[in-house]
Structures are given as structure tokens and as C-alpha cells.
Amino acid sequence: MTDNRFPMTEHETGDGLLRETGLRKTIGRVKIIELLMSAQRPLSGAELIALLGRDAMDPASVYRVLTVFTERRIVHRIDGADNVSRYALNRGRANHPHFTCRSCGKMDCLEEISVPHLDVGSEGYVVEAENLVLSGLCARCNRK
């Protein structure tokens, strides 16, 4: 389940978030957090690598950082219908769905829509993750 443990303010820095979470500050971690903070949508590992530039961090290091951030619930991972995982900062908002455009591949957080808690514990299930992804055409592709 998504645990939005670290509400973010618009003025918070990557350094501040690392301090708050108790993670050691590294240049790579700060750069990844700041890219995710400035992103208007969830980003894939490949998109982060392209934005960082191959000389800044090797791909394996980017994915290691994303794994640590996911485990610490600094980010949430969204597994899209296209089999690409994307990452977005937990900004203290309720669990929300995501939308993937089947034409351009862009993914957006639909933060204005809250996903209700589904209690399946009485059936003996233990929910370890929630991932609601809607797909279709984004507004731009729909106009084409």
C-alpha cells in the first residue's frame, strides 16, 4: 500500500528530504530526488538516466537509488500496462490512480481522485501493494 509518509512542500530540497529520511546524502540521490521533485509526472528509470546523462551516474546506480527510495517510501513505483515501472515522489497525498496514454506513453498521477481502501483481510488476503493504472488517450493525443 502507498504510505505517503513524507509530505513535501514545494520549497523543500533534495538535501532536506534526505536529512528527514535519515539517508546518507550523495550527489546521485540528491539529483534523482530533485528531478522527481521538478517532474510534472512519474518518470521511468530510463527517463531519469537520460535526464541525468550517462556520465553523471551509471544505470545500475540509478536503479539502486530508486529501490532504496521505494523501500523507504520516499517514492512510489507505478507499474504501467506497458510493463514500464515509473516513479513519483510521495507528496503526502492519498492513494491515487495513474493514467497511461496508449498513444504517446505519458503517465500522469490523478491526484484529485482518491482510491478507497479495499478491505480484503476478512478473506485472508494480505495486501502488500496497490497499483491502479487507467489507460486510454491523453487529452493531447485525443485531439489528434
Percent share of the chain, pLDDT over 90: 29
* pLDDT of 63 over the 90 cut: yes
pLDDT in tens, 123-134: 788 877 777 888
Distance CA(9)–CA(58), nearest Å, equals 29
47 pLDDT above the threshold of 50? yes
Q: Which long-range contacts (CB under 8 A, 24 or more apart) does 137-142 make?
A: 137/101, 137/102, 137/103, 138/99, 138/101, 138/103, 138/104, 138/106, 138/108, 140/104, 141/101, 141/103, 141/104
Question: Amino acid identity, residue 85?
Answer: S
The C-alpha atoms of residue 140 and residue 19 are separated, in whole angstroms, by: 39
CA 42 – CA 80 distance, rounded (Å)? 11
What structural domains and CATH numbers belong to the chain? Answer: 14-143 (1.10.10.10)
CB 113: neighbour CB atoms within 10 A?
14
pLDDT per residue as tens digits for the range 66-109: 999 999 889 989 888 778 899 988 876 667 888 888 898 888 88
Instruction: Tell me what the pLDDT averaged over the chain comes to.
Output: 83
